[in-house]
Amino acid sequence: MAAPGRTQKQIAERYKGNLGYYKRKHPWRVARFTVSFLALAGGLAAIIAYQNRIFRRQASEEFFSSGRISSHHAKYEQDCAQCHDKNAAMGSELTLAKFKSVVKDRFHHGIDFKSIDHKCEECHEKNPPFGMKKEYDLHEPNVVENRACSICHQEHLGPGPMSKVADSQCASCHNERAIMEASAKKGTTLPPKVFHLRPDTPQQIVFERPRPDAGYTQVFSSFHRDPARGGHPEFQLIRDKAPDPDTLRFNHARHFASDIPPVKGQKLDCNYCHKPDPQGRFYERINFQAHCQTCHALQFDERNPRLHLPHGDVNLVRTFLRTLPAQYAELARSQKEKQPGYNDVKTFIAQQMNGLRRQFGSDAAFENAVFLEIDPYKREDAVPTKANFSGCAHCHAVKMDGRMPVVTKPYLVDRWMPQANFNHAKHASVSCEECHAQARQSKETSQVLMPDKAKCVACHSPETKKVSSACITCHTYHAPGQLVKMEVRTDAPASSPFKQMLLGANR
């Protein structure tokens, strides 16, 4: 490498004896300072003068705007006071002391978002569906510090829709170990009841898993990466291997079997029972009349398949069984013109009742068979029994409370992952089995057939470039208040006549 032409000592010799150079006034430096001072002072004077004109409604506030606001807030474009608090700087009149105080505060603490946040909350409380109740925090209670609305929802960036919240905003906390550790520590001091559920409607049954001891504070940077490499953790439902709490016995694999005959001309598939709600986001709850009764018709007497047991009420079933002569009489009268065997009503009733007594021994044994035996009508020499002739225990958990049978009511979950937002309508182009492939092999009700994270990553990943994998695709920052969860009876219309229910409305 070539040697430098001059050493540092030689260069410094040039300025020897001239150390006061910058202390002397120079025409160019004086001119630059003067121009800068006049520009700042003139700008400040213009702002104050223009502000006074605005107070007198003689000028537009557009002068102060840093840019066009989004279409969501376009109606407030000429009314800055909807979001900005003028009193913070001006008050009733601008004084030098107040001005100095505001400037000093801004230099030391930055922009004050509290007044803007207050305006946001005040407006959105009055305008659902984005309403935020004062008694709830903006985020989960263990958040170390609630972020200002303006941090994530940035305005004055253009007239189109407001920009979506970037993943970097979420990662600024969820990818910071110190913040997550502080959040976990804070969570241990709070009672579980203060943490929010996220059901969309009060009528839904939500499968809410117990909150982990440390809360949801695992550090991660993105959704698509493996958890071991800093990715979103596996879904809690899958990670915990949580069982379905429903006691209803259901075998998905059996309903996919090839020997199941077509129902109403249609081969049984997912869509036969699982039908979307009017909005398409969720699915309607399964109920006996709409989805089960066509095959499981509750025909308790295989010699008289037109006679069905009622469904949904133990007392109603017991009343039906105790009034069997009346049921047979009604059946005989309705069929005597069509089939000659029903002409003599009394003889027909006696024959049917004697047949049941010979088969079961007594009325009490017959009733127990209906309620407690899984398949009370199967004979060893018979062909495989149709589901039509099964007892209550074929599908339900039944136990005896003294002499009274008790049928455990099904617990049909509407939402399995309440912490996430999901819309089936947006996945209409994806087949059911692409996400719920295990359904064809599932034989136990306890098996939860929800997809794991890997199923979602197959599409929701920047590597596949198919669909968004942003945090807000599935999650929202704002934590709504806990909604009351209810179970809704949809298996029997309340207005059905008693006799019609006794005889079976769908005979």
For 58-80, write each residue's pLDDT tens digit.
Answer: 556 566 667 888 888 888 887 88
Please state the domain count of the chain. Answer: 2
Predicted local confidence at residue 378, as pLDDT: 60
As a whole number of Å, the CA-based R_g of the chain is 37
Q: Quote the CA–CA distance of 190 and 479 in Å, as a whole number.
A: 16
pTM value > 0.85: no
Is residue 444 domain-resident?
Answer: no
For the segment 28-56, the average pLDDT, to the nearest whole number, is 78
Predicted local confidence at residue 93, as pLDDT: 62
Does the structure show a pLDDT above 50 at 221?
yes
Does the structure show a pLDDT above 50 at 26?
yes
Q: Quote the CA–CA distance of 44 and 33 in Å, as a whole number.
A: 16
pLDDT in tens, 144-182: 888 888 888 888 888 888 888 889 999 999 999 999 999
Predicted local confidence at residue 69, as pLDDT: 86
Q: Give the mean pLDDT of the chain.
A: 79
pLDDT in tens, 314-356: 999 999 999 999 999 888 888 776 666 566 888 888 888 888 8
Which carries the bigger pLDDT value, residue 404 or residue 503?
Answer: 404
C-beta contacts of 173-176 below 8 A and 24+ residues apart = 173/143, 173/144, 174/219, 174/220, 175/219, 175/220, 175/221, 175/230, 176/219
Domain enclosing residue 108, as ranges: 81-151
Domain boundary among 115, 134, 151: 151
Is residue 334 domain-resident?
Answer: yes
pLDDT in tens, 95-130: 677 777 777 777 776 677 777 888 888 887 766 544
Domain boundary among 105, 127, 151: 151
Cβ pair 51, 90 in contact under 8 A: yes
Predicted local confidence at residue 123, as pLDDT: 82
Domain boundary among 119, 151, 183: 151
Is residue 147 domain-resident?
Answer: yes
Is residue 119 domain-resident?
Answer: yes
Q: Quote the CA–CA distance of 367 and 364 in Å, as a whole number.
A: 5
Is residue 319 domain-resident?
Answer: yes
Is residue 204 domain-resident?
Answer: no
